[in-house]
Structure 1
Amino acid sequence: MGFFPFTYNPDHSVIVNANTEDYLKENKQVAETIETWAWIYHGLHDAIPTTMENLWSGHQFPFRESWEELQISYTLCHFGLYKQAMCSLRSVLELGLLSVYYNINDLGHETVKKWLASRDSTDANTPYFSSVWKILISHPNVEKFQDIIDIKKRVMNLSYLHNYIHTKGQKFSNQLGLLKSNSQTFEIKGFENWLAGFKEIVLLIVTLHILKYPTSMIDYDYSLKFGIDVPSFPHMRQSNLWRLKENFPPDFIMALQKISDNDDNVKDFKNWIDNHEDMSEEDLEKQIVDMDRREIVRQGFESYLRNQFALYRADTFEALIPSVQERVKKLEFWAKENNHYEDKFPDLNRSER
């Protein structure tokens, strides 16, 4: 390779990455905060329903892209590219808003088409926030929440992220308004700025999705009815809902719960769930075995076994709980009989060890 006159380079990123790791190890509460809020955002996958009508339509694309952009933003932050991480956060916000905007009337499979296809026309452009808000506030639950908490103002307060995109002076430059070298360096201020924006965006986008899909506020263990194969109706996994309730501001939780409890669709949904037959232990075990067999076919039994150790935090086979031991033994016999025992991606899995 040639000698490039670059001061921002991969070697510096590696150093900053190590510094960031040290910072997170020394400040475990910060690391736990990022983990918790990331899981809350990830949980929106369950809130956006998939039906036969919208299957493969791309109606979930804005949220999926938003989730990927969030991961990229964190990665950029980890490597000391704070300005770029903040620019990426802006994309998280815009895409998260579009996820609700396009699906507000349950017609996302239709309304998203032109934008999704990146057509070269005005009506296919990403809409401005003013247009997005007119659609969002038309939903009765968003209107009710807005009467209690000014969520519009909080979204607009995030407009400072534009300043990173357009580099509004030194404060919003790669220097972050600090006296620092002209390369990537670990900066607590840069990391804290990112964390504040990250949490606020997760709070607002998750809130708007819940207002659109208020059944997400139902605190229920759906595995009792459906095992590990919960249908794609709008909901939030119980563990994720608990995270949300423990970390969102109390006024947000109170407003969301009140709106959800008074929603007619939520009442009908609760009645349907209550009257749905519980799943038997035999049917649940069959579900798990069927899913595990699919994993073994894709990856091989050796890879599957490592995943089981990680899932149950066990170092050895004997450390697995008895019921899992029994299942694994049966699946090992099945894998050998059907030529699915060996790891099918040895090079990839070796690099992950």
Structure 2
Amino acid sequence: MRTVTLGRSDLKVSEICLGTMTWGTQNSEAEGHSQMDQALAAGVNFLDTAEMYPVNPVRAETIGRTEEIIGSWNRRTGRRGDWIIATKITGEDGKARGDEPISGDAVGRALEGSLKRLATDYVDLYQLHWPNRDVYHFRAGWHFDPRSHDKAAILAHMEDVLQALDRAMTAGKIRHWGLSNETCWGTAMWLQLADRMGVARPLTHQNEYSLLCRLWDLDLAELSHNEGMALLAFSPVATGLLTGKYQGDVIPPGSRRSLNPTLSGRVTERVWGAVEAYLAIARAAGLDPAAMAVAWTMTRPVQTLPIIGATTPGQLAIALSAAELRLPPEVLAAIEGAHKAHPWPY
């Protein structure tokens, strides 16, 4: 497993990040610990979580459980230093802290909760899980309307949060901070305000990115390249769609789709043809489709690190194998052809 310098930082991270959102629902504490051990053995040192996890479904009584599972591994092994840990503060409708929005005051309280659950004194990367305002992510692009935004209020909120993040960084509780599910305009405002205030800029984005979801490739990619930000790509196998296990519109028992039948709006009439196009490319090249999908994200012109997730050791092994997979030019060309034939399938 190769390591890379994350954006414009001093963080040396594995080029694949271990995602944890199922730990506490689909995965037990023991299984979460086993995944950490398996990933470490493969050379992974980068782990992503959030205060609202586990998901599928998100329940107020279980939020924070995933961080607790990571924390119990840290306490049991004494090896907190083996990991670069990223977590997130959740905003409205995230079931955390009474569904309150992100604010400077909320950052302080949410961070303290995460540190306690993670059994650590600091977080390497602290992320804002999603903006307080409406954005076009999560399949909202079909009806996105920015006219309800109050620019002055948004900028005042950003200044408040930046001050809180700066206090936490000065106290040594956060090493770096990042954005998640943010837009190009929003990112530009965070960068501009951080520079004006003389505080740390956001280091990363964490946005959905896969063969089926390529909104990132346009303005956000340009902005990130020029500003030195890295993409942490969540759902690189499109919540399992790109494994092929749902083809034929089936719902395997125990799968994510058994808990979330539409995969949060990703299951559409258009998606099956798009998935089949990528499965056919993998079959023709003798590749596992999930490994191909993860490996593809690491070929992008802007630094992109896939966040992989699994519920079984076998699934995790396939995702980890992408680190050694080099997609030949003919496969990359076929992928671009499939993208043009099946753009934005959900």
TM-score (norm: length of structure 1): 0.24
Greater CA radius of gyration, 1 or 2?
1
TM-score (norm: length of structure 2): 0.25
The structure with the greater share of residues assigned to strand is 2
Say which structure, 1 or 2, has more relative contact order (CA 8 Å, 6+ apart).
1
